[in-house]
Amino acid sequence: MFFNNLISVGNVLIRSEVLSTRFACDLKQCKGACCTVESEYGAPVVEEEIEEIKNILDVVLDYLDDENIKEIKENGFYEKKSGDLFLRSVDNKQCVFVYYENQIAKCAIEKAYFDKRVNFRKPISCHLFPIRISKFGGDILRYEKFGECEPALENGKMQDLTIAEFCKESLIRLYGEKWYSQLEEKFNR
């Protein structure tokens, strides 16, 4: 059941698997599959992120191929479905912000960030992956299992990293250092 094994940190509930499952992305193996998963929906975003992306879109377009640029210019980079916002994908496959480096799908927004051309890294849902946030009177963090991430499970075991530790930077970005320290106290690592 969804509410079994929940841990509370501040006003956030965390499924215990986020603290116990070993995980560390292995891009050489998965080739950035999380950015290219076949789906009707792209990554979830919030209104503030849409505004951030609008402000940096001209810079980010420099990193994209013609097909992605065409999709963005013709249809926009996001869509609203059932009241929720999602990044748009190309042919229900890759995110509109995907570019390829050595046959690995990567985020053009993040590339512009690392090139110090923009101050926005990427949507928090992308940064948090494989953690997903469910809303139920507040945030509930859960592990989204994805077959293409099998190499990340093996890599996490080798590196002895949990999902929470792998996602430390993104969790701090979302909830702050103090919150993450309280989370660490819960799993004593």
> Is pLDDT above 50 for 2?
no
For residue 1, what pLDDT is reported?
40
Could you tell me the pLDDT band of residue 189, with boundaries at 50, 70 and 90? Answer: low
For residue 3, what pLDDT is reported?
53
> Is pLDDT above 90 for 120?
yes
For residue 188, what pLDDT is reported?
66
Task: Calculate the average pLDDT of the chain.
Answer: 92
67, 108 Cβ separation under 8 angstroms = no
The dihedral region occupied by 140, where left means phi > 0, alpha psi between -120 and 50, and beta the remainder, is: beta
First to last CA, the chain: 27
User: Rounded CA gap, 177 and 68, in Å?
Assistant: 36
Dump pLDDT digits (tens) for 55-75. Answer: 999 999 999 999 999 999 999
29, 74 Cβ separation under 8 angstroms = no
- The strand pair at 44-45 and 84-87 is best described as antiparallel
Dump pLDDT digits (tens) for 135-159. Answer: 887 899 999 998 889 999 999 999 9
Dump pLDDT digits (tens) for 25-51. Answer: 999 999 998 898 888 778 999 999 999
Comparing 118 with 10, which gets the higher pLDDT? Answer: 118
21, 156 Cβ separation under 8 angstroms = yes
For residue 41, what pLDDT is reported?
78
